Structure 1
Amino acid sequence: MSDFDVAVIGAGPAGLSAALGLVRSRRTVLLIDSNRPRNAATLRSHGFLTRDGVPPLELRKLGREEFEGYPGATFHAGLVQGVQATPDGFRLSARGIRGASDLEATVGNIVVATGLIEKLPSVPSLRAWYGTDLHSCVECDGYEKRDAALALIGESDDLAERALLISQWSSDLIVFTNGVPAVTEAEQSALARRGVRIERRPIADVVGERGRMTGVLLADGETIPREAGFVRPEWTPAIAYLDGLGVRLDDSGLIAVDALGRTSVPGIYAAGDSTAPGPEQLIIAAGHGAQVAAALNRDLLGPLL
């Protein structure tokens, strides 16, 4: 017998939604989280129905309270250090944080919902403006930056596509490639027809005064005035604790899943950003978590005949 039917690792929207769906299905659920989300620097989250503008940590707090209101729910503040397969499921170990003790538990199934680790372009003060004047999610924060003089900073091959999306919110957009050939000449010409400029010179820093971003300082000393903007990080899934279990990854290094969140290892499911090409909007991640919970619950019932 396992200590819990399911362990949900990660309490963002995907993990909370999965945990809630499973505990409402009368499963015993262990939810483990460190409360250090990737979007912690963001002051407001947008696009989540009935919660538009809610602070990300507040959304997580509300979700946890709903989950913990059910008798089968257990929350542990911790970081999962490792997972081992057992004849009946899995044994996981977690290091406790914020006064919580370390945890060893056996579980029948696991839902991976630990999201992504992001690496920002190598610009010294970029993180100081990240979450306030600079953001990564266009769909989440584009409306709040409408009609401003915007920068898009990145070094990835999809930079032109991101610029196209941002151009619907502002007619004053400059793409900064930081000296990297991330935008082709054909893409530059196409964007120019939409009024978008490409700045290929290396960046020295992002500058500002009185708590507001005022421009992008180039390596040659010129400062180009900008009020706000977007940055394109590199993302990798936060799944080191799965090492050795044989969970298959796709060509992008994300967890490969079927349409219902099943991984290549029976009993391990995944939901949210660790399965998606780039961060999902919060409401999409929550829906993904609910879908995975429904599939896992049905799988636990076994065949009808």
Structure 2
Amino acid sequence: MVLDCVVIGGGPSGLNASLVLGRAKKNIVLFDENKPRNAVTYESHGFITRDGIKPSEFKRIAKEELRNYPGISIQNHRVIAIIKEKQSFIIHTDEGNSYHSRKVILSTGLKDVLPRIEGINNFFGTSLFNCPFCDGWELKDRALVVISENERAFHMTKMIANWSKDLVVCTNGRMIFTEEQKELLTKKNIKVIGDEIEILQGKNGHLQTIKFKNGKEIEREGGFVTTGLEQASSLAQTLGCAINQMGGIKTDNFGRTNIQGVYASGDISITSPAQLIIAASEGSKAAMGVISDLVNEDF
């Protein structure tokens, strides 16, 4: 059987795309390798009716809802290759099976690349985060740190100042602020520490102390870090999808890439904040793009 679409990636984007496709009576397979970007996150926020939900519980509920639609099949396998034919695709999985589909939605997401600082992995997702809209409320009015080694530090610091006025910025030995930026931060009573960090210390995932290589120490209760981003899968590049300046996949407003029949949604495009609700909405739009194209081809 030739499927109408395969959706690769079982995050909020892929799940919502599958829902919209299933409700349009399309026969699809959702491939979920179950390696989400938010695996270290205890709670997800900012999604109305689901604020504070555990990511695993969000996924459980989503898959339960998808099973109401007979056209949706969920496979917990990794897609290792996609071969484009004239008007369709052959999808190969790690279990050795192959699927034939007219369309493909890539919702494979991104991976966060943390600064190389000892101990940082112990706190990321518990008391150190990368999205103030997702976790700013939980850290409001505390003694916070912004750890950044790149030019996004100034913007991040301004944003975090909305949730807490007790801020310290650590650049880990990098000179990333202009004189004008440093003057403005000083006026806002935000201290900038340019010394190299030796280690982050704390207990049970809760940050307590930042120790520097020159022997100095400061106490902080949590904070935010600017991470690097890289594609979690090479499938888009292998297919020849065009890449934007930020390293994401170029798409139109309905997820269409430059490769006919291939769509991308969610964090994979790196063009919008990495929030649950935004990723889900982009999955919905990509599914609408697929349905529109299938209808036009068959009409």
TM range (shorter): over 0.9
Shift of 1:304: 9.2
Which residue pairs with 2:31 in the alignment? 32
Q: How far apart are residue 278 of structure 1 and its match?
A: 6.1
Single out whichever of 178-187 and 280-289 deviates more from structure 2. 178-187
The two structures have a TM-score, normalised by structure 1, of 0.94
Q: Measured at CA, do residues 221 and 167 of structure 1 come closer, stay the same or move farther in structure 2, by a change above 3 Å?
A: same
Q: CA deviation at 1:87?
A: 2.5
Q: Is the 8 A contact 1:32 1:79 kept in 2?
A: yes
1:167-214, Cα deviation, whole Å (9 max, x unpaired): 011111111111112222221212222222111111111111465311
2:222 counterpart of 1:224: no
Amino acid at match of 2:151: D
Misfit runs of 4+, over 3 Å? none
Q: Distance in 1 between matches of 2:148 and 2:298?
A: 52
Q: Is the 2:22–2:71 contact (alpha carbons within 8 Å) kept by the matching residues of 1?
A: yes
Separation (CA, whole Å) in 2 of partners of 1:266 and 1:209: 51
| CA apart distance, 1:105 | 0.9
Partner of 1:21: 20
Q: How far is the alpha carbon of 1:62 from its aligned partner?
A: 1.1
CA drift at 1:13: 0.7
Question: Which residue of 1 is the match for residue 76 of structure 2?
Answer: 77
Describe the superposition over 1:35-67 as per-residue Cα deviations: whole angstroms up to 9, x where unpaired: 111111111111111010001111111111111
Correspondences of 1:95-114 after superposition (within 5 Å)? 95=94, 101-114=95-108
User: Secondary structure of the equivalent of 1:66?
Assistant: helix
Identical aligned residues as a percent: 34
CA distance in 2, matches of 1:83, 1:255: 16
Residue 130 of structure 1 aligns to a residue whose secondary structure is coil
Q: Does 1:215 align with 2:209?
A: yes
User: Hey, what's the Cα distance between the residues in 1 that align with 2:296 and 2:124?
Assistant: 47
Q: Which residue of 1 aligns with 2:7?
A: 8
CA separation in 2, counterparts of 1:104 and 1:288? 27
Secondary structure of 2:290's partner? helix
Change (3 A) 1:55 1:26: same
What pairs with 1:192-271 in structure 2 (closer than 5 Å)? 192-209=186-203, 211-271=205-265
- For normalisation by structure 2, the TM-score amounts to 0.96
Unpaired runs of 5+ residues, structure 1, are 96-100
Query: Amino acid of the residue matched to residue 169 of structure 2?
Result: V
Partner of 1:98: none
Q: Cα distance 1:298–1:131, how it changes in 2: closer, same or farther (>3 A)?
A: same
Q: Which residue in 1 is equivalent to 2:59?
A: 60
